[in-house]
Amino acid sequence: MHFLERGKRPRPKLRRQMVRIVVTEMMEKCPHLQNRIENVRRTSTPKIRKRKHQTDSDHTDEIPLEERAAMQDTYGCIKWNVEFLPLEETPESQQQKMEKLKVMFQQADANPDEIKSLMKSTYYTQCQHVNQGKSIKCLREEWPFWFDELGMSVHFKELTGIDLEETFTRNLDLKGKRLLDYMTTVAVSQSKAFLQTYARLQRMRGPQSGCSDDVKEMVLPLLSYFEEKEESMLFCVEDTCLADEVQLEQVPLTPTIIVCGQSCYSSRRYMLSIDRNLVSTNISSFISALCLMFGSYYNFNIHYPSELASTLEFLQRCFFSINPEKGTKVENKNSKRRLSVNPRVLTLIQDLADHEWR
């Protein structure tokens, strides 16, 4: 429809897809057509002779960007690459809106609804910039709102169809208590190492309580359960540390939560680092920091590091409701084929389901 609205001829692949859609609808309306089709197709020629292997020469049209992209880039996305500007937009109008967003970022009283509208209407240009490989530093300068909660959520919703923080908090209410109960009753009895880590975390936690603290109590044991290191996701600094005092050369390149304090439990302020660039320096809650970190993997085409493969996929499937049937978001460091669902993640999901019925 995008092509036709602009008076352009769709690519052969899209034309074939259109025919399949029309034929499928026809078959539902007129089932007797199936017999007629089969009669027409019947032939005495052995099928093996008719089969033809496709080669690159069979396709003369340019390979779409989605097919050239790495599997990890498009994984879990419903609108990874937008081919056309909205009909009412031009490159000039997109540039004007981008500049307006920069100005509004400097204003303390900027209208959130207007920010949301401008971010949504410039989604096309945001996609172009990130898919062209612009650096995080450049993206931060051109799209400052993209790195705060509102802007991150708008782009993530367009990209995946999921409300970032709303989906997480809803699933936290539905599944968080069950996961904590499983960790404290089943997981601690299955592994001595996990029991020791959980006891250490409980001492660090102390008597604090609250929604954000419950998330910390869920995420930190998850890392231990999957035998993945906290340092790959969390980097602790002094609670009075300023942004320019963070030793970024020691921070992982992947999205990392900077914890201002001795631990997550004592911290009341967080930052976010991507590619060793501090993109958000005053995040007030751990839930917001976690959502910004997770959203960054999708918004900026970043692959899950193998050091966090299980924890991130578990959060993705159970708490952010992104469940692709095939593919993976994990970086591919070798040619070894990865399963569509991490076996350890699948096992924990099944164990949690069983635990609910006990």
pLDDT in tens, 214-228: 788 889 889 999 999
Average pLDDT estimate for 108-116? 96
Q: How confident is the model at residue 241 (pLDDT cuts 50, 70, 90)?
A: very high
CA distance 136 to 280: 12
Q: Which residues have a Cβ under 8 Å from the Cβ of 243 and sit 6 or more positions away?
A: 271, 278, 281
What is residue 40's predicted lDDT score, i.e. its pLDDT?
45
277-283, strands of its sheet edge to edge: 234-237, 256-260, 270-274, 277-283
User: Is the pLDDT confidence value at 36 over 70?
Assistant: no
pTM: 0.79
Q: How confident is the model at residue 266 (pLDDT cuts 50, 70, 90)?
A: confident
Q: How confident is the model at residue 115 (pLDDT cuts 50, 70, 90)?
A: very high
What is residue 233's predicted lDDT score, i.e. its pLDDT?
97
What is residue 50's predicted lDDT score, i.e. its pLDDT?
32
Q: Share the mean pLDDT of the chain.
A: 85
What is residue 68's predicted lDDT score, i.e. its pLDDT?
55
Asked if residues 122 and 98 have their Cβ atoms less than 8 Å apart, the reply is yes
Average pLDDT estimate for 261-285? 93
Q: How confident is the model at residue 42 (pLDDT cuts 50, 70, 90)?
A: very low
Average pLDDT estimate for 286-305? 96
Looking at the DSSP bridge assignments, the partners of residue 236 are: 259
Question: Poorest-confidence range of 53-67, 216-230, 280-294?
Answer: 53-67
Pull the structure tokens for residue 311: 């924890």
What is residue 51's predicted lDDT score, i.e. its pLDDT?
31
CA distance 179 to 349: 10
Asked if residues 152 and 297 have their Cβ atoms less than 8 Å apart, the reply is no
Q: Which residues have a Cβ under 8 Å from the Cβ of 294 and sit 6 or more positions away?
A: 164, 168, 255, 312, 315, 316, 320
What is residue 119's predicted lDDT score, i.e. its pLDDT?
98
Handedness of CA 299, 305, 306, 311 (dihedral sign): negative
CA distance 68 to 260: 40
Q: How far is CA 199 from CA 62, 217, 282, in A?
A: 57, 11, 30
Instruction: Please tell me which of 186-190, 215-219, 317-321 the model is most confident about, judged by mean pLDDT.
Output: 317-321
